[in-house]
Structure 1
Amino acid sequence: MENFTAFEKTGTVPERNTGSIISHAFEMYKGLIGYAILTMILYVVASSLIQAFSGIDQQAVLDHVKSSEGTVDYTEIWKIEGMKEYYGLSALLSFLLGPLLVGLVYMAHKVNNNLKLNFSDLFIGYRQNFLNILIYSFISSIIIGISFMLCFLPALFIGPMLLIGYPVLLFENANAIEALKKTFSVAKENYGTFLGAGLLGMLISMSGLLLCFIGVFITAPFIYAVMYSAYVAYVGRPRQIIHNS
């Protein structure tokens, strides 16, 4: 288990504005990009297995989208063979991979402290505060999911409220409800910066779509570096005092 003590305002800490947070996140991300790509590969492999296992009729989905003329009928897509199984298993995958994404936050912390990265760092979320990470991942997925169902815009505005939840779970060993309360509290008081950093971070993460499929592997995990940088800016840089392998 990793242990952290009181927070410091020393070392590499971004200023409390969108530009500084994004710039800091870039510096952190450069140091862990290889592991970020590996995380994406693991995710895509798992997704491919789910797709094969669900037996989803991909051609039926494509045909429906092509014939929709810009207005997709999701009730009809839901009826396509294997779609319910696919979405159910995909939700389960996202739920179970939450702790893996926490590993990227931890790696950003190690980059910030000039510590050597190890492959096992990716799995810290499965060793530390695992249950609360799962619960938080589940609750936050429901919040974002409902926001998207209401309309796309609510999700954009609610997403930044969850920006530092994973760092709170990792560095403060908080339970899921405490993490939700803290990320909402900090974001509410600094909403403009959190909105800017969250939206810009997501746009950068999604920018890989413009660089062909391979680009997604490079950019998609960037938002987790943004989570760390926002946390450090507004809470402080946690100082690691014990490392038990």
Structure 2
Amino acid sequence: MNKTTQYRIEEINKNGYALDFGDVFNHAFENYKKIALYGGLIIFVFFVLLSLLAFGILIAIFGAPAVVDFLKPENLQPENISITTLLIIAGASALTSCLLSPFPAGLIKMAYCAERDEEFHVSTMFEFYKAPYFKELFVATFLVSLTSSIISTIINYAEIPALGFVVTVTVSLFTILMIPLIIFGKLKAVEAIQTSILIVSKQPLVLLGLIIIGSIATLVGFIGCCIGIFFTLPFIYSLYYAIYSEIIGFETEDESEDKN
């Protein structure tokens, strides 16, 4: 953990913090405009390649007929899937999220570079597939995803989808700063989760409102053959960046020079 982050977290723990909804949203939107096209194109290409790879692996393991049969709507109803299968799916989903966790971290870093008018490239999206970041992102995402997936799966199996949705939203809300704390604050996985929960608990309603509006803005991309979602999705990562920037902030050049 760097000293700037440590000091700010201690201050938040003691005194809380002020957060203006409008300022954060405008900050996120202005930043989003700088990365929308480039980030959207990369997400689209990555999604297509990942989908082809995933279907290729499933077909190679189970065969095309079995995969097609499993994907029939009637076979995807929770009541028609055994609890064992649901738990396997939950575990696979958590593992996939872990392996892909450096990708959203790259999008948040892209937002950071855009605000400072620094160049960013395709390599920026994959910058955190290296030590020490990958391990911490993997562990943090695994703990959060596995917990959320298991709870949601059990709730859905009990046919209480509304409660499952509430659990998913709650977990997502209280861990929104987990990734920025790892890549910018240099926190370890468990520290990042605990700190994110601490910070969000100080202003949960404002942050929930930001996430809801940000999600709605992102879903607008479904208009126009759904392709637009790839170009509105970067907004949510600009929002994560803006929230972290407004609450924690970054070390200034003067502070960096003082340390040296």
Rate the CA distance shift 1:146–1:211 in 2: closer, same or farther, 3 A: farther
The Cα shift of 1:83 comes to: 9.3
The Cα shift of 1:174 comes to: 0.7
- Residue aligning to 1:68: none
The Cα shift of 1:206 comes to: 2.7
The Cα shift of 1:204 comes to: 2.2
2:104 aligned to which of 101, 110, 129? 101
- Residue aligning to 2:196: 183
Aligned residues: percent identity? 23
Rate the CA distance shift 1:26–1:193 in 2: closer, same or farther, 3 A: same
- Residue aligning to 2:68: 58
Pairing 1:207–2:217 present? no
Correspondence list, 1:34-183, <5 A: 34-55=38-59, 57-58=67-68, 60-64=70-74, 73-77=77-81, 90-127=93-130, 128-149=132-153, 150=155, 151-183=164-196
Counterpart CA distance in 1 for 2:104 and 2:73 is 34
Counterpart CA distance in 1 for 2:224 and 2:171 is 28
Counterpart CA distance in 1 for 2:249 and 2:90 is 38
Alpha carbons 1:161, 1:194 under 8 Å: kept: no
The Cα shift of 1:239 comes to: 4.2
User: Which amino acid in 1 is paired with 2:230?
Assistant: F
User: Normalised by the size of structure 2, how large is the TM-score?
Assistant: 0.75
Count of residues paired in the alignment: 227
- Residue aligning to 1:232: 245
User: 3-state SS of the aligned residue for 2:186?
Assistant: coil
Counterpart CA distance in 2 for 1:220 and 1:92 is 22
**Going by fraction, where is strand more abundant, 1 or 2?**
1
2:4 aligned to which of 3, 6, 24? 6
The Cα shift of 1:43 comes to: 2.9
User: Which amino acid in 2 is paired with 1:134?
Assistant: F
Counterpart CA distance in 2 for 1:200 and 1:126 is 30
Alpha carbons 1:171, 1:238 under 8 Å: kept: no
Counterpart CA distance in 2 for 1:152 and 1:171 is 30
Q: Could you list the per-position Cα deviations for residues 19-75 of structure 1 after superposition, in whole angstroms to 9, with x for gaps in the alignment?
A: 32222112112212212430342133212221232135335533417xxxxxx6324
The Cα shift of 1:92 comes to: 3.2
Rate the CA distance shift 1:57–1:84 in 2: closer, same or farther, 3 A: farther
User: Which amino acid in 1 is paired with 2:4?
Assistant: A
User: 3-state SS of the aligned residue for 2:19?
Assistant: coil
User: Which amino acid in 1 is paired with 2:72?
Assistant: L
Unpaired stretches in structure 1, ≥5 consecutive residues: 10-14, 66-71
The Cα shift of 1:220 comes to: 2.4
User: Which amino acid in 2 is paired with 1:197?
Assistant: L
User: Normalised by the size of structure 1, how large is the TM-score?
Assistant: 0.79
Rate the CA distance shift 1:51–1:6 in 2: closer, same or farther, 3 A: same
Of 113-122 and 132-141, more deviation after overlay is shown by: 113-122
The Cα shift of 1:100 comes to: 1.5
User: Which amino acid in 1 is paired with 2:173?
Assistant: P
User: 3-state SS of the aligned residue for 2:118?
Assistant: coil
Of 33-42 and 233-242, more deviation after overlay is shown by: 233-242
Counterpart CA distance in 1 for 2:144 and 2:190 is 11
Answer with 1 or 2: which has the greater Rg: 2
Counterpart CA distance in 2 for 1:224 and 1:103 is 9
Counterpart CA distance in 1 for 2:212 and 2:146 is 19
